């Protein structure tokens, strides 16, 4: 499988985040649940963290692949910050440090979830190989 297929979801999702955060706040349905907005930010960026680590783990550069966790965290958190700054220029939107924190925790959670899943998948495969011997 070509490596671009591993990167494409992260690229598309990056563009999708930008587009969605470009809508004025009054065009987005309001949900009156306490901190629901932060939950949405967290989930949105958890998915982003997973897509980033998949992209960086499947690159031709062994240095990037070896450091995929750190790079994914840095890129995801930086993009969350840039997205909050971008919202300063969108009518009816504002920048929120709490949204940025939710974005950052989301990226961290996504990367951790994926790395744990990958670890257990590899551990299970090794166990299966050892059981076949």
pLDDT in tens, 107-124: 999 999 999 988 777 667
Please answer whether residues 28 and 51 qualify as being in contact, where contact means their C-beta atoms are separated by less than 8 angstroms: no
Q: To 5 degrees, how large is the angle CA 101–CA 104–CA 107?
A: 150
Mean pLDDT of 45-65: 95
Q: How much is the pLDDT for 133?
A: 57
Q: How much is the pLDDT for 92?
A: 84
Record the pTM: 0.85
**Structure token pair of residue 12:** 């598309």
**Structure token pair of residue 27:** 């065009």
């Amino acid at each position: 499988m070509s490596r671009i297929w591993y990167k494409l979801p992260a690229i598309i999702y990056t563009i999708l985040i930008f587009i969605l955060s470009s809508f004025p706040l009054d065009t987005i349905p309001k949900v009156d649940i306490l901190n629901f907005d932060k939950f949405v930010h967290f989930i949105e960026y958890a998915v982003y963290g997973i897509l980033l680590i998949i992209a960086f783990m499947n690159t031709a550069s062994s240095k990037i692949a070896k450091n995929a966790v750190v790079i994914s965290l840095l890129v995801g958190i930086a993009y969350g910050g840039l997205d909050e700054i971008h919202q300063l220029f969108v009518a009816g939107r504002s920048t929120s440090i709490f949204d940025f924190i939710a974005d950052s925790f989301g990226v961290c959670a996504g990367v951790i979830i994926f790395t744990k899943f990958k670890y257990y998948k590899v551990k299970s495969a090794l166990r299966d190989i050892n059981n076949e011997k």
